[in-house]
Amino acid sequence: MSDTEKDLLGGQTVAIIGAGSMGGSIARGLVESGALPGEQVLVCDHNPGKLAALAQQAGVRTFATSAEMLAEKPGIVVLAVKPQVLASVLEQHAADLDGALVVSIAAGVTLATLEAALPGARVVRVMPNLPVSVRSGASAITGGASAGEADVATVQALFATLGSAKVMREDQLDAEGAVVGCAPAYFALMVDALTRAGIRAGLRATDAREMVNATMLGVAESLAASGEHPRAYMERVTSPGGTTAAALYELEPALVDGCYDAVDAALARTAELARG
């Protein structure tokens, strides 16, 4: 992580309510990246097994209850619980969170709802995706009216330890979720489809899957490192009149239309869920 990010997070105590996939990944990422020492990362959860694993793996401090953890007066509190549980957590701890920088990763719970429940807190919403578990995720960040620029920058620095972290408007979060939040499933489907195509063409399943995974990782790392436009990368792989050109002629229309349709479907479902 950069020196600026270290300066923003240095000395902070980060408390995480919930040690599930996202909460646990955030806790481990903060420690493994060197952003914070384990003693400055606090985690609570109702599952003692998850807490024991985190304490052993990352050296974080664990608590059986959120009340006990919040009594430590952490500067940043991450609400890493399911949306259907969040309302009870907000009601229980509204007073405890006065003055704190509160980060919610609950999908579909708006800043207006969060700020109404936590009038004394500075609230920021974040939408991370699953690859934060290997510190290669993507997180969209938006600050509420009570959060200042320094608060948003601090949260961005926190999630930058887990991959890419971008600040955007709240009205952009649904689109980010439909494109980036769902993207791990899209990419996994692509790996599965190419693996099945390889099997159909005569390759062993394990060999095809391993080679497709390695290739996807290599392409992602190459594009990220070079900043090269994807189409320019494609051109370097594609010889005129060659096999890749023939394959792309068939694949590109279906893939592009499929991506447009997938994002539209995800947005439509997001709207349905928002209406209840």
pLDDT band of 236, cuts 50, 70, 90: very high
pLDDT above 80 for 8: no
pLDDT of residue 6: 64
pLDDT of residue 203: 98
For residue 195, the number of C-alpha atoms closer than 13 Å in the C-beta half-sphere is 18
Residue 66, classified by CB atoms within 10 Å of its CB into exposed (0-12), middle (13-18) or buried (19+), is buried
pLDDT of residue 273: 76
Q: If you search the block for the tokens 């189409």, which residue do you land on?
A: 231
What number is the average pLDDT over the span 232-259? 97
User: What would the pLDDT profile of 46-88 be if each residue is shown by its tens digit?
Assistant: 999 999 999 999 999 999 999 999 999 999 999 999 888 899 9
**SS3 at position 127:** strand
Name the strands in the sheet holding 101-104, side by side, starting at the edge strand that comes first in the sequence: 61-63, 41-44, 14-17, 76-79, 101-104, 122-128, 137-143, 163-167
pLDDT of residue 164: 95
User: What would the pLDDT profile of 119-135 be if each residue is shown by its tens digit?
Assistant: 999 999 999 998 998 89
pTM of this structure: 0.88
DSSP for 7-66, written as a single string: HHHTT--EEEE--SHHHHHHHHHHHHTTSS-GGGEEEE-S-HHHHHHHHHHH--EEESSH
pLDDT above 80 for 9: no
pLDDT above 90 for 150: yes
CA 220 to chain centroid, in Å, comes to 17
Q: How many CB atoms are closer than 10 A to CB 209?
A: 18
How many whole angstroms separate alpha carbon 76 and alpha carbon 206?
Answer: 44
